[in-house]
Amino acid sequence: MAMEPLIYLAFVDDWELSGDGSGDPRLLQFQPLRRLVEIYNAHGVRGSFNAEVMQQLAFRQRQDSHAELKLLADEWELLVRETLRQGHDVQLHIHPQWSDARYDDSRWQLNGGWSILNYSPDAARQMIETGRTYLEDLLQPVNPDYRCVSFRSGSWCIAPSPHILRLLADNGIVFDMSIVGGVRYDTRRIELDYTNCEEDFLPFYPVMTDARRVSAKPEPIVCIPTNYFYGSRRQTFRHHSSKVLGKLKKRSEPADRHPAGGRTMATYGHEWAQTSHNSVLTKFYDKGVRPYIRGRHLISDLAQLDYASMQEMLSSIRRRVKAAAIGPVPVILENHTKDIRDFSHIERFVADVAQASDIRCVTLTEVAQKIREGTFVIKTAPSK
């Protein structure tokens, strides 16, 4: 008798341009999506793609005066439909900075705030409803049963908020996957702190005003954290070594040897620079010493990991599932199409996972269905 898989693993991709609007959609989105689908199909795995709809809506809004935007928007839609037609999933992803976008001299300027938590309930509701309706109208002709059932917020911004979880539930969203344990951002665009989440691995019912906390009762929406892990000392050493070698190599090669798909990399990196006022000694400890003591904190973002790190990630997942001892557990992996530079590591990892007896690869739609069916234990806080 075959053993029931304990891990329901979802390969999830945030499918988008850079957060500042820079980049060529064909290089950063269309080409790598086709390659990922090829890899998934070759190994019998179905992936899920979080389509950033605010970008697409901005392209559509300006297509009458900019023919190049219409061509890109048309190709975006054709590719999304074809991806769903091949058995993969497409779900809702929103970067609200596109809500106030300008397009001049073939460049985007995004003037909206980066965190949906800072928008009024009406503005947030409009973005969610518009995005959901757009995807469902686009994809129901391909599959009449298609629904938006999951959500990831741009830049992970989901908590705290007095209204965002309620708005998602009102729009039929079964679960959110924007929490990622151990993450803290204090940048010129984003402020969030998930370093003390009450649950950062198992699915749980959130307090409806703060997804970092676990509710004592069932709620109209579930949270499934995106996975993270701590890399080994060996992985940390490899990371630091590769950064040094990469900088030396970059200095010695012509600029055109480092294509960025049209991204304004220097500007985009500045957007994510931490604005912490810690001392130089504290920064050195946090980045250079502490990772060797505890391990380097890593979001399970496949575009940022090599094959050895992915193996460490999978070992960590197995340990945590075993320790939970509650039956099957859904696990959300992350990926950013725009950041993939070498598909070989992802292909090797997908091949391993496809053959693992304790793992079943699922789409986000399947995760939502299994939540409804009661396959997973959804955590609540002990009653006081």
Residue 116 DSSP class: G
pLDDT in the model for residue 242: 55
Bridge pairing between strands 101-104 and 175-176: unpaired
d(CA 62, CA 68): 10
pTM for the whole thing? Answer: 0.90
Question: Structure tokens of 211?
Answer: 């997804």
pLDDT digit of tens for each residue in the chain (384 aa)?
445 679 999 999 999 999 999 999 999 999 999 999 999 999 999 999 999 999 999 999 999 999 999 999 999 999 999 999 999 999 999 999 999 999 999 999 999 999 999 999 999 999 999 999 999 999 999 999 999 999 999 999 999 999 999 999 999 999 999 999 999 999 999 999 999 999 999 999 999 999 999 999 999 999 999 999 999 866 655 544 454 454 455 555 555 444 567 766 555 455 667 666 555 444 443 454 444 456 789 999 999 999 999 999 999 999 999 999 999 999 999 999 999 999 999 999 999 999 999 999 999 999 999 999 999 999 999 986
Asked whether the bond before 160 is cis by omega within 30 degrees of 0, the reply is yes
Topology at the third CATH level for domain 7-373: TIM Barrel (3.20.20)
Which amino acid, 148? Answer: C
- DSSP helix/strand/coil, 133: helix
> What's at 344, amino acid-wise?
S
Q: How far apart are the first and last CA of the chain?
A: 42
- Residues 282, 233, 304, CA angle at the centre, nearest 5°? 85
The upper half-sphere exposure of residue 116, i.e. CA atoms within 13 Å in the direction of its Cβ, equals: 30
Give the model's pLDDT for residue 8: 98
CA angle, 310 then 314 then 319, to 5°: 150
Domain extent listing, the chain: 7-373
**Greatest Cα pair distance in the chain:** 64
